Structure 1
């Protein structure tokens, strides 16, 4: 048997592949071709791309305004 056809790991031990892992890896590699938008995907995208960043921004803005109010500094104009 030619050395290029023999699949082995460290120590020249034979590789024993799992069909479940190979199928999962094939699906993972082709995910961008098989992806479909569903209501669940859309909801998750809106939450993680819009709602969470907006909430973080509002918390930061409120903290700046609270510090400015405490120190007697006029509030900053933030969009």
Structure 2
């Protein structure tokens, strides 16, 4: 009475899901991967940290001068 309503599987989505589940087994270190890790894993966090520290030190100096005058 209510049969015939199965979901149709999309081959491409199933392949993508399988590749995603097995990523740690198929991963290879390449120059591009090393570059991306270097940029987004090291350089960006260091630059963000330095920017925050610089802004904080400027605010501390500004606050010290505002107390004097």
TM-score using structure 2 length:
0.77
In structure 2, stretches of 5+ residues that fail to align are: none
Structure ranking higher in helix proportion: 2
Q: Of 39, 56, 62, which residue of structure 2 is paired with 1:64? A: 56
Residue 52 of structure 1 corresponds to 44
In structure 1, stretches of 5+ residues that fail to align are: 1-10, 74-79
Choose between structure 1 and 2 for higher RCO, CA contacts under 8 A separated by at least 6 residues: 1
Q: Deviations over 1:34-55 (max 9, x none)?
A: 0001111111111111111111
TM-score using structure 1 length:
0.69
SS at match of 1:72: helix
